[in-house]
Amino acid sequence: MDILLHEKFPPSPVMRLASFMDSIFYNQPISPSVREWLLKAFLHYLHHGGKDPLDRFLGLAPIDAGTSSLSTRLGLFKRNLHLMEALRKIALDDSVTSWGRCQRLAAEITKFESRTWKLYRDLPEPTPSWPAWQQDLWRAYKTGVRIPRTAHALYKILNQIDGDTINAPGAKLLASLTQTQPK
């Protein structure tokens, strides 16, 4: 029986890679679905004589103009981690709703991009005197991945409507190991 085809919402290849890295890094057992994913990918790779890159068979390579590379997806994860931290820290107290935080950060993003980012983009680290949320926003910009400017887009990130979850095993580890290039 093909376990992967019978999963109701199978994890993306990036999430499977994150789970694999988490298992290896923390010396934990590899999940059966990840083991099967790796086995199938290697068998297909060998069946095709190793002519194509392995990441294609793992589902990590872009297959057409509508898909993104692994580095782009990991940069997106890294950006989202920093944005979620900024959203968590921007409220002065816990009574501010998630939506309220998104509205506040969206307004601050516009100001930050037009003033602060242009002046401080080349620093190796954010200025320590900045508020914590602004330091996280600087780190999100430093990933080089486009920053959403609307409360709706931030709320979508906060609730992970896109499918892949930052809280999946290994997602934070994989994002932290990824080198991103600022634009």
pLDDT of residue 77: 82
**Cα–Cα distance between 122 and 132 in angstroms, integer?**
19
pLDDT digits (tens, 9 = 90+) for 171-182: 777 777 766 555
Q: Please give the span between the terminal C-alpha atoms of the chain, in angstroms, as a whole number.
A: 46
For 22, half-sphere exposure in the C-beta direction (CA atoms, 13 angstrom radius) is: 17
**Cα–Cα distance between 19 and 173 in angstroms, integer?**
9
Window from 64-73, 95-104, 106-115, 139-148 with minimum mean pLDDT: 64-73
pLDDT of residue 6: 40
Higher per-residue pLDDT: 28 or 12:
28
For 43, half-sphere exposure in the C-beta direction (CA atoms, 13 angstrom radius) is: 6
Mean pLDDT, rounded, of the chain:
83
pLDDT of residue 5: 40
Mean pLDDT value across residues 24-44? 92
Q: Which two tokens stand for residue 120?
A: 């401080």
Residue 61 pLDDT > 70: yes
Burial of 33 (0-12, 13-18, 19+ CB in 10 A): middle
The band of 161, judged by pLDDT with boundaries at 50, 70 and 90, is: very low
**Cα–Cα distance between 154 and 160 in angstroms, integer?**
10
pLDDT digits (tens, 9 = 90+) for 105-152: 999 999 999 999 999 999 999 999 999 999 999 999 999 899 999 999
